[in-house]
């Protein structure tokens, strides 16, 4: 019997399953789907129907908290370490929550984590007190420089877009944060220059004491302020402008009007400058209550969505680009990859 496959929907997912000739699940892929009714789209043979039913009922047991993982016959190709991690995950009780640090200690790797602090730790007056408190609970936070921050982001971006040729060209990588924005020009995955500007979604909101709807005079002042700040960057031609971080993801969610956050939909998504301008106008002309109801809006970011979008728009204006590309992978993934590099 050859490899067997099935594709079916169970809201809010579409599953693509692959079994070997012994009926062991060897590959599981899924993506978000908004089809409400369960539906089988593809069955490679009639025997697969029983396997799909088995997976479906196991999935229901998992969702209904009867099992702590989906128990179906399966075969895993993995290293001894990966299998150790998976088995430990399966041993977690339903509802049990562990930090990454606690989990790494449980499997015998006490130093298998890295905590980094970015702009807020470089600026906050009480940063040293916070770092001391973190040490008391066993977490050493490493405050990184702006240059290392964007290098970590670059690692994450390269990893997330590795299946495309984007990052091998001349790219401007931009990470919009709360207190600062980091920039890096990368060519053939090699950094050419790195720059950090003290413009962020939160700092802009506080500097201009934003009240919604935003009046034209304040709006124009922010645009002029950003234009003055961006002249500190070398102005040169780039093939692509790639944004990473929470501001970029939020802008993508607003553009796609996502009801449920989907990294699959956002990663490598392209947004035109014209579309960003429309989003900006809608945000500027709305009160916070109306903004909170916009499709794609993330709770807690209502008051910083506009300044973040203005930074994105101003960067495109400065570098004379008509669109930006999103990367959902950034400093978090880059930090993890740097930890792997340390171990290797």
Tell me: do 47 and 159 sit in the same domain.
no
Q: What is the pLDDT of residues 89-121, one digit of tens each?
A: 888 888 888 888 888 888 888 777 888 998 889
Range of the domain at 67: 4-75
Tell me: do 163 and 49 sit in the same domain.
no
Tell me: do 69 and 155 sit in the same domain.
no
- The pLDDT of residue 113: 82
Tell me: do 173 and 278 sit in the same domain.
yes
Tell me: do 154 and 26 sit in the same domain.
no
Tell me: do 172 and 288 sit in the same domain.
yes
Tell me: do 71 and 162 sit in the same domain.
no
Domain of 256, CATH number, reads 3.30.420.150
Tell me: do 152 and 252 sit in the same domain.
yes
Tell me: do 60 and 155 sit in the same domain.
no
Tell me: do 168 and 49 sit in the same domain.
no
Of 35, 50, 75, which residue constitutes the final position of a domain? Answer: 75
Q: What is the pLDDT of residues 312-342, one digit of tens each?
A: 999 999 999 999 999 999 888 999 899 888 7
Which residue positions in the chain have pLDDT lower than 70?
1, 344
Q: How many domains does the chain have?
A: 2
Tell me: do 203 and 65 sit in the same domain.
no
Of 75, 107, 131, which residue constitutes the final position of a domain? Answer: 75
For residue 237, tell me if it sits in a domain: yes
For residue 129, tell me if it sits in a domain: no
pTM of the model: 0.72
For residue 123, tell me if it sits in a domain: no
For residue 208, tell me if it sits in a domain: yes
Q: What is the pLDDT of residues 35-73, one digit of tens each?
A: 888 888 999 888 889 999 999 999 988 888 888 888 888
- The pLDDT of residue 1: 54
For residue 258, tell me if it sits in a domain: yes
Of 43, 75, 107, which residue constitutes the final position of a domain? Answer: 75
For the chain, the three-class secondary structure string (H helix, E strand, C coil) is: CCCEEEEEEECCEEEEEEECCCCCEEEEEEEECCCCCCEEEEECCCCHHHHHHHHHHHHHHHHCCCCCCCCCCECCCCCHHHHHHHHHHHCCCCCCCCCHHHHHHHCCCCCCCCEEECHHHHHCCCHHHHHHHHHHCCCCEEECCHHHHHHHHHHHHHHHCCCCCHHHCEEEEEEECCCCEEEEEEECCEEEEEEEECCCHHHHHHHCCCCCCCCHHHHHHHHHHHHHHHCCCCCCCCCEEEEECHHHHHHHHHHHCCCCCCHHHHCCCEEEHHHHHHHHHHHHCCCHHHHHCCCCCCCCCCCCHHHHHHHHHHHHHHCCCCEEEEECCCHHHHHHHHHHHHHC
Tell me: do 70 and 194 sit in the same domain.
no
């Amino acid at each position: 019997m050859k490899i067997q496959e099935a594709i079916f929907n169970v809201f809010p997912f579409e599953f693509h399953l692959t079994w070997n000739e012994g009926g062991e699940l060897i590959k599981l892929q899924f993506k978000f789907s908004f089809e409400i009714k369960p539906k089988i789209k593809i069955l490679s043979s009639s025997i697969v129907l029983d396997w799909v039913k088995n997976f479906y009922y196991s999935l229901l047991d998992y969702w209904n908290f009867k099992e702590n993982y989906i128990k179906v016959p399966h075969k895993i190709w993995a290293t001894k370490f990966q299998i150790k991690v998976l088995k430990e995950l399966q041993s977690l009780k339903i509802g049990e929550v562990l930090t990454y640090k606690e989990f790494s200690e449980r499997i015998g790797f006490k130093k298998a984590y890295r905590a980094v602090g970015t702009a807020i730790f470089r600026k906050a007056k009480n940063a040293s007190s916070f770092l001391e408190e973190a040490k008391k609970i066993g977490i050493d936070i490493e405050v990184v420089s702006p240059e290392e921050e964007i290098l970590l982001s670059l690692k994450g971006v390269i990893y997330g877009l590795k299946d495309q040729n984007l990052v091998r060209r001349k790219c401007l990588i931009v990470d919009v944060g709360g207190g600062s924005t980091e920039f890096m020009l990368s060519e053939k995955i090699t950094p050419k220059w790195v720059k950090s500007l003290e413009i962020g979604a939160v700092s802009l909101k506080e500097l201009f004491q934003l009240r919604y709807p935003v009046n034209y005079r304040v709006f124009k002042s922010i645009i002029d302020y950003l234009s003055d700040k961006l002249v500190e960057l070398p102005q040169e031609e780039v093939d692509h402008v790639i944004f990473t971080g929470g501001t970029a993801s939020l802008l993508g969610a607003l553009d796609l009007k996502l009801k449920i956050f989907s990294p699959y939909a956002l990663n490598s998504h392209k947004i035109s400058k014209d579309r960003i301008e429309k989003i900006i106008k809608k945000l500027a002309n709305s009160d916070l209550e109306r903004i909170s109801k916009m499709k794609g809006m993330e709770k807690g970011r209502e008051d910083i969505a506009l300044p973040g979008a203005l930074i994105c728009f101003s960067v495109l204006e400065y570098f004379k680009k008509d669109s930006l590309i999103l990367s959902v992978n950034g400093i978090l993934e880059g930090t993890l990859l740097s930890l792997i590099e340390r171990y290797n």
